[in-house]
Protein backbone atom coordinates (compact mmCIF):
# COMPACT_ATOMS: atom_id res chain seq x y z
CA UNK A 1 0.00 0.00 0.00
CA UNK A 2 1.29 3.44 -0.90
CA UNK A 3 1.84 5.65 2.13
CA UNK A 4 0.22 9.09 2.12
CA UNK A 5 2.45 11.91 3.34
CA UNK A 6 0.82 14.88 4.99
CA UNK A 7 2.25 18.21 3.85
CA UNK A 8 1.98 21.16 6.21
CA UNK A 9 3.65 24.48 5.42
CA UNK A 10 4.44 27.84 6.96
CA UNK A 11 5.85 31.28 6.26
CA UNK A 12 7.97 33.49 8.51
CA UNK A 13 7.62 37.27 8.62
CA UNK A 14 10.50 39.15 10.24
CA UNK A 15 9.28 42.57 11.34
CA UNK A 16 11.69 45.36 12.19
CA UNK A 17 13.48 48.38 10.78
CA UNK A 18 16.61 47.33 12.68
CA UNK A 19 16.87 44.16 10.56
CA UNK A 20 16.44 46.03 7.29
CA UNK A 21 18.99 48.70 8.25
CA UNK A 22 21.61 46.09 9.10
CA UNK A 23 21.96 47.23 12.71
CA UNK A 24 20.65 43.88 13.94
CA UNK A 25 21.37 40.48 12.44
CA UNK A 26 18.45 38.08 12.21
CA UNK A 27 19.07 34.82 14.06
CA UNK A 28 15.49 33.61 14.26
CA UNK A 29 14.65 32.41 10.75
CA UNK A 30 17.07 29.47 10.70
CA UNK A 31 16.05 28.45 14.23
CA UNK A 32 12.30 28.56 13.57
CA UNK A 33 12.69 26.79 10.22
CA UNK A 34 14.74 23.98 11.73
CA UNK A 35 12.34 23.62 14.66
CA UNK A 36 9.30 23.46 12.39
CA UNK A 37 10.94 21.01 10.00
CA UNK A 38 12.60 18.62 12.43
CA UNK A 39 10.17 18.70 15.35
CA UNK A 40 6.85 19.18 13.58
CA UNK A 41 7.20 18.08 9.95
CA UNK A 42 6.26 21.59 8.79
CA UNK A 43 8.14 23.05 5.84
CA UNK A 44 8.88 26.76 5.63
CA UNK A 45 8.07 27.86 2.08
CA UNK A 46 8.58 31.61 2.34
CA UNK A 47 10.36 34.23 4.45
CA UNK A 48 9.82 37.98 4.28
CA UNK A 49 11.54 40.83 6.10
CA UNK A 50 9.38 43.94 6.40
CA UNK A 51 9.55 47.31 8.21
CA UNK A 52 7.59 48.53 11.23
CA UNK A 53 4.90 50.05 9.02
CA UNK A 54 1.29 49.22 9.82
CA UNK A 55 0.02 49.03 6.24
CA UNK A 56 2.89 46.74 5.24
CA UNK A 57 2.37 44.43 8.21
CA UNK A 58 -1.36 44.21 7.54
CA UNK A 59 -1.07 43.58 3.80
CA UNK A 60 1.70 40.98 4.20
CA UNK A 61 -0.13 38.96 6.84
CA UNK A 62 -3.41 39.13 4.93
CA UNK A 63 -1.70 37.76 1.85
CA UNK A 64 0.35 35.00 3.45
CA UNK A 65 -2.18 33.66 5.94
CA UNK A 66 -4.30 32.56 2.99
CA UNK A 67 -1.41 30.80 1.27
CA UNK A 68 0.07 28.81 4.16
CA UNK A 69 -1.11 26.68 7.06
CA UNK A 70 0.79 28.81 9.57
CA UNK A 71 2.41 32.24 9.78
CA UNK A 72 5.12 33.05 12.32
CA UNK A 73 6.00 36.69 12.95
CA UNK A 74 9.00 37.89 14.94
CA UNK A 75 9.52 41.35 16.40
CA UNK A 76 7.41 44.38 17.21
CA UNK A 77 5.68 43.26 20.42
CA UNK A 78 7.79 45.21 22.93
CA UNK A 79 6.99 48.31 25.03
CA UNK A 80 8.10 51.11 22.68
CA UNK A 81 6.19 53.34 20.26
CA UNK A 82 7.42 51.47 17.17
CA UNK A 83 6.27 48.08 18.45
CA UNK A 84 3.08 47.91 16.41
CA UNK A 85 2.81 44.25 15.40
CA UNK A 86 0.02 43.29 17.84
CA UNK A 87 -2.04 46.36 16.95
CA UNK A 88 -1.59 45.69 13.23
CA UNK A 89 -2.61 42.05 13.57
CA UNK A 90 -5.77 43.15 15.38
CA UNK A 91 -6.68 45.07 12.25
CA UNK A 92 -5.92 42.07 10.04
CA UNK A 93 -8.56 40.04 11.89
CA UNK A 94 -10.88 43.03 12.49
CA UNK A 95 -10.96 42.59 16.26
CA UNK A 96 -10.31 45.03 19.10
CA UNK A 97 -6.79 45.70 20.35
CA UNK A 98 -7.20 45.15 24.10
CA UNK A 99 -5.45 44.16 27.30
CA UNK A 100 -5.41 40.39 27.60
CA UNK A 101 -6.61 39.70 31.18
CA UNK A 102 -4.23 36.81 31.86
CA UNK A 103 -1.25 38.57 30.27
CA UNK A 104 -1.98 41.62 32.43
CA UNK A 105 -1.96 39.50 35.59
CA UNK A 106 1.27 37.75 34.58
CA UNK A 107 3.18 40.99 34.00
CA UNK A 108 1.72 42.84 36.96
CA UNK A 109 2.95 40.02 39.20
CA UNK A 110 6.32 39.86 37.41
CA UNK A 111 7.11 43.58 37.67
CA UNK A 112 5.11 44.48 40.79
CA UNK A 113 2.38 47.10 40.82
CA UNK A 114 4.77 50.02 41.48
CA UNK A 115 6.98 49.18 38.49
CA UNK A 116 4.21 48.15 36.13
CA UNK A 117 4.37 51.26 33.94
CA UNK A 118 2.53 52.08 30.70
CA UNK A 119 5.28 50.65 28.50
CA UNK A 120 5.12 47.30 30.28
CA UNK A 121 1.32 47.35 30.21
CA UNK A 122 1.52 47.75 26.44
CA UNK A 123 3.03 44.25 26.21
CA UNK A 124 -0.31 42.92 27.55
CA UNK A 125 -2.28 44.38 24.61
CA UNK A 126 -3.11 42.11 21.71
CA UNK A 127 -6.02 41.09 19.46
CA UNK A 128 -9.15 40.26 21.44
CA UNK A 129 -9.63 36.50 21.73
CA UNK A 130 -5.95 35.65 21.13
CA UNK A 131 -4.35 32.65 22.86
CA UNK A 132 -1.18 33.26 24.86
CA UNK A 133 2.24 31.82 24.03
CA UNK A 134 3.88 31.71 27.45
CA UNK A 135 7.33 33.20 28.02
CA UNK A 136 9.52 31.55 30.70
CA UNK A 137 12.37 34.03 30.20
CA UNK A 138 10.99 37.55 30.57
CA UNK A 139 7.29 36.87 31.28
CA UNK A 140 5.83 38.98 28.43
CA UNK A 141 3.87 36.45 26.35
CA UNK A 142 3.48 36.16 22.63
CA UNK A 143 0.12 35.23 21.17
CA UNK A 144 -1.69 33.20 18.53
CA UNK A 145 -4.80 34.18 16.63
CA UNK A 146 -6.17 31.71 14.08
CA UNK A 147 -3.10 30.56 12.10
CA UNK A 148 -0.82 33.49 12.98
CA UNK A 149 1.79 33.11 15.73
CA UNK A 150 3.34 36.30 17.08
CA UNK A 151 6.74 35.96 18.77
CA UNK A 152 9.36 38.40 20.10
CA UNK A 153 12.42 39.33 18.08
CA UNK A 154 15.03 38.70 20.81
CA UNK A 155 16.51 35.29 19.88
CA UNK A 156 17.14 33.94 23.39
CA UNK A 157 13.60 34.77 24.48
CA UNK A 158 12.05 33.37 21.31
CA UNK A 159 13.96 30.11 21.72
CA UNK A 160 12.81 29.71 25.30
CA UNK A 161 9.13 29.99 24.41
CA UNK A 162 8.70 28.49 20.96
CA UNK A 163 7.93 25.01 22.33
CA UNK A 164 4.75 26.55 23.77
CA UNK A 165 3.46 26.85 20.20
CA UNK A 166 3.41 23.07 19.79
CA UNK A 167 -0.04 22.55 21.27
CA UNK A 168 -1.59 24.67 18.52
CA UNK A 169 0.15 22.99 15.57
CA UNK A 170 -1.10 20.31 13.22
CA UNK A 171 2.01 18.30 12.46
CA UNK A 172 3.03 17.13 9.02
CA UNK A 173 4.97 14.04 8.03
CA UNK A 174 8.58 14.03 9.24
CA UNK A 175 11.13 15.36 6.78
CA UNK A 176 14.21 13.15 6.38
CA UNK A 177 17.56 14.25 5.00
CA UNK A 178 20.87 12.76 3.90
CA UNK A 179 24.00 14.25 2.36
CA UNK A 180 26.92 13.33 0.12
CA UNK A 181 30.12 15.40 0.34
CA UNK A 182 32.28 15.35 -2.78
CA UNK A 183 35.69 16.73 -3.77
CA UNK A 184 34.60 18.50 -6.95
CA UNK A 185 32.99 21.72 -8.18
CA UNK A 186 29.32 22.26 -8.96
CA UNK A 187 29.82 22.76 -12.69
CA UNK A 188 31.26 19.24 -13.04
CA UNK A 189 28.10 17.56 -11.78
CA UNK A 190 25.32 20.07 -12.52
CA UNK A 191 23.91 18.43 -15.68
CA UNK A 192 23.87 14.92 -14.22
CA UNK A 193 22.37 16.17 -10.97
CA UNK A 194 19.66 18.04 -12.87
CA UNK A 195 18.60 14.82 -14.62
CA UNK A 196 18.28 13.00 -11.32
CA UNK A 197 16.35 15.90 -9.77
CA UNK A 198 13.84 15.80 -12.65
CA UNK A 199 13.37 12.07 -12.10
CA UNK A 200 12.63 12.52 -8.39
CA UNK A 201 11.03 15.98 -8.52
CA UNK A 202 7.75 14.83 -6.94
CA UNK A 203 9.41 13.23 -3.93
CA UNK A 204 12.80 14.77 -3.22
CA UNK A 205 14.42 18.18 -3.00
CA UNK A 206 18.08 18.03 -4.02
CA UNK A 207 20.33 20.89 -2.94
CA UNK A 208 23.89 21.53 -4.11
CA UNK A 209 26.12 23.62 -1.83
CA UNK A 210 29.79 24.44 -2.47
CA UNK A 211 32.24 24.42 0.44
CA UNK A 212 35.91 25.10 1.17
CA UNK A 213 37.18 22.89 3.98
CA UNK A 214 40.74 22.17 5.12
CA UNK A 215 42.15 23.35 1.82
CA UNK A 216 39.70 21.32 -0.23
CA UNK A 217 37.07 22.69 -2.59
CA UNK A 218 33.97 20.55 -2.61
CA UNK A 219 30.21 20.21 -2.98
CA UNK A 220 27.64 18.96 -0.48
CA UNK A 221 24.62 17.33 -2.09
CA UNK A 222 21.70 17.38 0.34
CA UNK A 223 18.61 15.22 -0.17
CA UNK A 224 15.38 16.08 1.68
CA UNK A 225 12.08 14.22 1.54
CA UNK A 226 9.18 12.88 3.58
CA UNK A 227 9.88 9.49 1.99
CA UNK A 228 12.96 7.86 3.51
CA UNK A 229 12.97 5.02 0.96
CA UNK A 230 13.05 7.47 -1.95
CA UNK A 231 16.06 9.22 -0.40
CA UNK A 232 17.91 5.89 -0.32
CA UNK A 233 17.07 5.19 -3.97
CA UNK A 234 18.10 8.67 -5.05
CA UNK A 235 21.34 8.59 -3.07
CA UNK A 236 22.32 5.25 -4.62
CA UNK A 237 21.66 6.64 -8.08
CA UNK A 238 23.87 9.67 -7.40
CA UNK A 239 26.65 7.45 -6.07
CA UNK A 240 26.43 5.17 -9.12
CA UNK A 241 25.86 7.64 -11.98
CA UNK A 242 27.79 10.65 -10.72
CA UNK A 243 30.32 9.72 -8.05
CA UNK A 244 31.48 6.31 -9.27
CA UNK A 245 31.13 7.06 -12.98
CA UNK A 246 33.23 10.24 -12.74
CA UNK A 247 35.62 8.79 -10.14
CA UNK A 248 34.90 11.61 -7.71
CA UNK A 249 36.29 11.32 -4.20
CA UNK A 250 33.98 11.58 -1.19
CA UNK A 251 34.83 13.49 1.98
Is the fold of 8-168 the same as that of 176-244?
A: no
What SS3 state is found at 235? helix
How does pLDDT run along the chain (251 residues), one tens digit per residue? 455 668 899 999 999 999 999 999 999 999 999 999 989 999 999 999 999 999 999 999 999 999 999 999 999 999 999 999 999 999 999 999 999 999 999 999 999 999 999 999 999 999 999 999 999 999 999 999 999 999 999 999 999 999 999 999 999 988 889 999 999 999 999 999 999 999 999 889 999 999 998 788 999 999 999 899 999 999 999 999 999 999 999 98
Report the C-alpha gap between 10 and 31 in whole angstroms: 14
Q: Where are the domains of the chain?
A: 8-168, 176-244
| Angle between helix 186-199 and 228-238 (nearest 10) | 140
Helix (H, G, I), strand (E, B) or coil at 248: coil
Which residues does residue 24 pair with via DSSP β-bridges, in sequence order? none
Round to whole Å and give the CA distance between 113 and 199. Answer: 64
**What kind of architecture, by CATH, is found in domain 8-168?**
3-Layer(aba) Sandwich (3.40)
In 51-190, the DSSP E strands lie at 70-74, 97-99, 125-127, 131-133, 142-145, 148-151, 176-182
Instruction: Report how far apart, in Å, the C-alpha atoms of 111 and of each of 35, 106, 115, 119, 232 are.
Output: 31, 9, 6, 12, 55
176-244 CATH fold: Alpha-Beta Plaits (3.30.70)
Amino acid sequence: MKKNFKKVNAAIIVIGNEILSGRTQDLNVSFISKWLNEKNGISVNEVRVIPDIEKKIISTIRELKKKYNYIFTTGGIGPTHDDITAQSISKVFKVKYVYHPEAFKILEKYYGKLNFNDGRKKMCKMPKGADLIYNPSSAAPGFKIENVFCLPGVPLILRSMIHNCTQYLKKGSKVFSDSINLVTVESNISKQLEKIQKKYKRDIDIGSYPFFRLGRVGVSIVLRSQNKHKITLCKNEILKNIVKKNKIKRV
